[in-house]
Amino acid sequence: MHALQKTDSLKQSADVLIQLKSIQMLYEYIPRRLEAVLKANGGKTP
């Protein structure tokens, strides 16, 4: 594997990790979000 290929591979791996972290954060936010929607009876939430 050439140095450029290694760099591209590392960048792709980092991009995937960033995306996974974003998804994890959204997933962890769901219970609080649902609670806010229920408190607002389906109306606007902060």
**pTM score, whole prediction:** 0.63
- Give tens-digit pLDDT for 1-46: 567 777 899 999 999 999 999 999 999 999 999 999 999 999 998 8
Q: Which residue is it, tokens 């929607």?
A: 37
Q: Provide the token pair at 22.
A: 């974003």
Q: How many domains does the chain have?
A: 1
Q: What is the extent of the structural domain holding 27? A: 1-46
The pLDDT of residue 14 is 94
SS (H, E, C) the chain: CCHHHHHHHHHHHHHHHHHHHHHHHHHHHHHHHHHHHHHCCCCCCC
Are 36 and 46 a contacting pair, CB within 8 Å?
yes
The pLDDT of residue 5 is 79
The pLDDT of residue 1 is 58
Are 36 and 45 a contacting pair, CB within 8 Å?
yes
